[in-house]
Amino acid sequence: MGIRERLSGNEAVAFAMKQINPDVMGAFPITPSTEIPQYFSTYVDNGEVDTEFIPVESEHSAMSTCIGAQAAGCRAISATSSCGLCYMTEMLYVAASDRLPITLAVSCRALSGPININNDHSDAMGVRDAGWLMLFAETNQEAYDNYLQAMRIGEAVGLPIMVCQDGFITSHAIENIELVEDEKVKAFVGEYKPQHYLLNKDEPMAVGAYATPVYYMEAKRQQAQAMMDAKDVIKKVGAEFGKLTGRSYDLIEKYEMDDAEEALVIIGSSAGTAKETVNQLRAQGKKVGLVKVRSFRPFPAEEIVEALKNVKAFAVMDKDDSFNGHCGPMFAEVTAALYAQGVSAPKGISYIYGLGGRDVRVESIQQVFGELADIAATGKTGETYRYLDVRE
């Protein structure tokens, strides 16, 4: 039986960090993730963890600290948001290419400009191709659970991992949550035993060496293979976590999809609003459902294709815009997956919503489902690149 508590998402992630007791934290504050290192620093100060807490002068330095620590054979963690994640970008690529399984908590927030401190996914999606594993949470409970699973996943394939939640919506809102007992966490996460690390006196080595054209492409191919291998690891760890807690996790979650004719593909906390909308429309006899993406990297292409293969129309909800002139980033991934699998694709539209913290309500999602019903009935998509609840 777990421990029942009431925590914000940031508190829950910091508590998970305490239970794991990592070796090093490189920390620099930025709203809305500031609370994570702030809460964690109290555990350091109280002697509840053995972590070396290193306050630095920037997010770039925070990730550099983690890279050095992880390369030396330590478990290293950090937390950031928004422009802080952008400032880390150079080092995010280094961490991934050096195959260092750093764990980074991200409380997602809009990017400037214009300056905005509220939630959307432009920060995380802006670094989606940096080579990091990326898990997204709908609730505070999922933010906590994802963090406990993250180190196991990253260390198994030798890739860094981001644990993303929605800034303020889950990071600061307090919810009932069930915590896992400390001793069970320690047994589940296990000890970090790297095969190769800088402080191993019996194996002199370099990390991040220069790669000439003779070696660079092979290194990238191995990195890509690790991302592909992570799919099975995420499923395995999620199933094992389910046996421990009763809360199982997969790459995606299907909600009322068995007979759905119209469906949403969505990520993050807005899935909760969408589920309530589905419940209301189901009560009216409408066959609607949704697919919630938990793992954005690796992208669950086959699983999404299987989930959508029988629907007549779908909308992909992006809390971000690629500014490519025709769709959001997740829509591009979903439609590429359908095309690659040779599926007779259902009609799909791309919705950009919730930018800069714009509220998304049940009525908003009902509007999307109404438009999907028209597409399913007529077979005509019309404009596929749409903005939701915007003053045109």
Same-domain pairing of 145 and 75: yes
Q: Would 106 be classed as within a structural domain? A: yes
Same-domain pairing of 26 and 119: yes
pLDDT, residue 301, reads 97
- Determine what percent of the chain is predicted with pLDDT higher than 90: 97
pLDDT, residue 341, reads 87
Q: Would 91 be classed as within a structural domain? A: yes
Q: Would 332 be classed as within a structural domain? A: yes
Q: Would 114 be classed as within a structural domain? A: yes
The whole-number average pLDDT for the span 182-201 is: 95
Same-domain pairing of 314 and 201: no
The whole-number average pLDDT for the span 94-106 is: 98
Q: Would 392 be classed as within a structural domain? A: no
Same-domain pairing of 9 and 104: yes
Residue 150 has pLDDT above 80, yes or no: yes
pTM over 0.85: yes
Q: Which of 217, 245, 273 is the last residue of a domain?
A: 245
The CATH number of whichever domain residue 288 belongs to comes to 3.40.50.920
pLDDT, residue 1, reads 63
Q: Would 348 be classed as within a structural domain? A: yes
Sign of the alpha-carbon torsion through 102, 47, 188, 268: negative
Residue 76 lies in domain: 3-245
Same-domain pairing of 128 and 168: yes
Q: Which of 187, 213, 245 is the last residue of a domain?
A: 245
Same-domain pairing of 170 and 266: no
The whole-number average pLDDT for the span 321-327 is: 97
Q: Would 111 be classed as within a structural domain? A: yes
Residue 350 has pLDDT above 90, yes or no: yes
Q: Which residues of 107-134 are buried (b: 16+ CB within 10 A; e: fewer)?
A: bbbbbeeeebbbbbbbbbbbbbebbbbb
Same-domain pairing of 212 and 258: no
Low-confidence winner among 57-66, 171-180, 195-204 (lowest mean pLDDT): 195-204
pLDDT, residue 2, reads 84
- Comparing C-alpha atoms, which of 6, 25, 267, 263 is closest to residue 128? 267
Residue 345 has pLDDT above 80, yes or no: no
Q: Would 265 be classed as within a structural domain? A: yes
Same-domain pairing of 44 and 187: yes
List pLDDT tens digits, range 3-24. 999 999 999 999 999 999 999 9
Same-domain pairing of 272 and 209: no
Total domains in the chain come to: 2
Same-domain pairing of 241 and 309: no
pLDDT, residue 175, reads 97
The whole-number average pLDDT for the span 110-114 is: 94
205 exposure class (CB count in 10 Å sphere: 0-12, 13-18, 19+): exposed
Q: Which of 213, 245, 277 is the last residue of a domain?
A: 245
Same-domain pairing of 240 and 328: no
The CATH number of whichever domain residue 112 belongs to comes to 3.40.50.970
Same-domain pairing of 69 and 207: yes
